Amino acid sequence: MTEIVARNPAGVFPPYAGYAHSVEVPPNARTLYISGLNGYESDGATMPPDFAGQTRLVWQHLGTILSGAGMGYDDLVSLRFFLASAAHDPENVAILKEHLGDHRACRTVVVQQLLEPDWLIEVEAIAARVDEPAAR
């Protein structure tokens, strides 16, 4: 089976806070592109007022979407975080590590005003999985 490989080549600064500079996805992998997720509850109208609450809901939604495609957090190859404040980054990294452990994906963090004033985080993701070939 061909694997998805995180690559951190010599000559580039060491990745900090647990990410990979690049991830190589083989041509036989299934890919899943996930739109920006925010911290709305399943009712689509309410959300926790705090960053941790919203972020944990984003990870819950992300896990549900991945599961629906037969994937999990270990299949994430790229994450893009949009934070309403740079002050949230340390907590974001801590919650990310709770979900990914030693798994490394590419990651970008952007600090900007989000679409709705109550949103404190939005996350886009790409996942890829190489499935075992069917038995003959």
What are the pLDDT digits (tens) for 28-52?
A: 899 999 999 999 999 999 999 999 9
Kindly report the average pLDDT of the chain as a whole number: 93
pLDDT confidence band for 136 (50 / 70 / 90): low
Please report the pLDDT score of residue 113 as a whole number. 95
Other C-beta atoms lying within 10 Å of the C-beta of residue 130 = 16
Section 48-70 average pLDDT: 98
Please report the pLDDT score of residue 135 as a whole number. 55
Element (H, E) at 96: helix 89-100
CATH architecture of the domain with residue range 24-129? 2-Layer Sandwich (3.30)
| The Cα angle at residue 104 between residues 23 and 108, in degrees rounded to 5 | 75
- pTM score, whole prediction: 0.90
Element (H, E) at 90: helix 89-100
pLDDT confidence band for 1 (50 / 70 / 90): very low
| The Cα angle at residue 67 between residues 62 and 71, in degrees rounded to 5 | 95
Tokens of 104: 């490394």
